[in-house]
Amino acid sequence: MSACEEAGAGNGLPREETEMNKRSTGAVYERKAGEYLRRQGYTILQYNYRCRAGEIDIVARDGEIIVFCEVKYRGTVCRGGALEAVTPGKQRTLSRCALFYLAEHRLTDAPCRFDVAGIEGEAGRVIHVKDAFAYRE
């Protein structure tokens, strides 16, 4: 069995516990990405903004620009890289969530963009892509 097949094998944990592990792992890497953005001069406005359309991992401000940042972590590249995981469907979800955020905070005229922070491997190096995609309907 290859390392990729082995990584995808069942871990023997109940589904609920596996989901909790994914969420707690996600939270760790979202904070790591947030700290990276903060060191780059961003102001973190909110982690895990939730609305009926979905969730945005990090909402930040880069100068006058509101930044909606999706964070993806991959321990291995077996299932593709972290940055590749932000599919067109995910981009549409993030775009809808951004509209909710802007309306809720009365920022509909504010300039905004969508960034992606990918974290790959054991070293956990952050790869930040500014303006990673445009708004998608």
Q: Check pLDDT > 50 for residue 55.
A: yes
CA distance 93 to 54: 6
Our measurement of the distance from residue 37's CA atom to the centroid of its chain's CA atoms, rounded to an integer in Å, reads: 12
CA distance 85 to 72: 7
| Nearest residue to 104 (alpha-carbon basis) of 44, 56, 51 | 51
Q: How confident is the model at residue 3 (pLDDT cuts 50, 70, 90)?
A: very low
Distances (CA, A) of 117 to 69, 114, 132: 7, 10, 9
- Contacts by 86-92 with C-beta closer than 8 Å and gap 24+? 86/116, 86/132, 86/133, 88/136, 91/133, 91/136, 92/136, 92/137
User: Which pLDDT does position 5 carry in this prediction?
Assistant: 43
> What confidence tens digit (pLDDT) does each residue in 6-41 have?
444 444 545 444 444 556 666 888 999 999 999 999
> What confidence tens digit (pLDDT) does each residue in 70-123 have?
999 877 666 666 667 889 999 999 999 999 999 999 999 999 999 999 987 777
- Please indicate, yes or no, if residue 5 is contained in any of the structural domains: no
- Please indicate, yes or no, if residue 104 is contained in any of the structural domains: yes
User: Which pLDDT does position 46 carry in this prediction?
Assistant: 97
**Number of domains the chain contains:** 1
- Please indicate, yes or no, if residue 67 is contained in any of the structural domains: yes
User: What is the pTM (predicted TM-score) of this model?
Assistant: 0.80
CA distance 118 to 96: 21
CA distance 131 to 110: 15
- Give the range of the structural domain holding residue 57, as residue numbers without chain letter: 12-133
Q: How confident is the model at residue 2 (pLDDT cuts 50, 70, 90)?
A: very low
CATH of the domain at 54: 3.40.1350.10
| Nearest residue to 48 (alpha-carbon basis) of 76, 21, 29, 64 | 29
- Please indicate, yes or no, if residue 4 is contained in any of the structural domains: no
Q: Check pLDDT > 90 for residue 44.
A: yes
